[in-house]
Amino acid sequence: MPSAVIATATVRQQLLFLYLTHPNPTATTIAWSLFDGTGAAQRMSGDADAAPYDSVLEAMKDGWRVMQVAQQQPAYPGMEHRTAYLPFEFILERLVEMSDE
């Protein structure tokens, strides 16, 4: 009996962190990080001049799923103009099917 070669698929996760100007998913992206579990892209912070998506909504239309939505926090009195971490973070995920041939 001849043996058949069966191609199987492996799924890998990609994570995209988008930081926006405010907590609305249509807001403009001001910073981002991409982590590619497929190994296809070796990215690092600051390696591109333009964000991969202008907004979370654009990424969703391209197949990214939102895992975490940014919470809107009120500014404490006297802290309105202080710099700190970027508060409006969205975490998105995409599952990519890879062939194991």
Q: What digits encode the pLDDT tens for the residues 45-97?
A: 667 789 999 999 999 999 999 999 877 676 678 776 777 677 789 999 999 99
Whether the predicted model's global pTM rises above the 0.95 cut: no
* CB hemisphere CA count around 17 (13 angstroms): 12
What's the pLDDT score for residue 46? 62
What's the pLDDT score for residue 6? 61
Residue 88, judged by CB atoms within 10 A of its CB (0-12, 13-18, 19+), counts as buried
Virtual CA dihedral for 47, 53, 56, 60, nearest 10 degrees? -120
Unique residue bearing structure tokens 């001849």: 2
* Mean pLDDT of the 17-43 span: 89
What's the pLDDT score for residue 39? 84
What value, to the nearest 5°, has the Cα angle with vertex 15 and ends 61 and 69? 65
pLDDT of 3 over the 90 cut: no
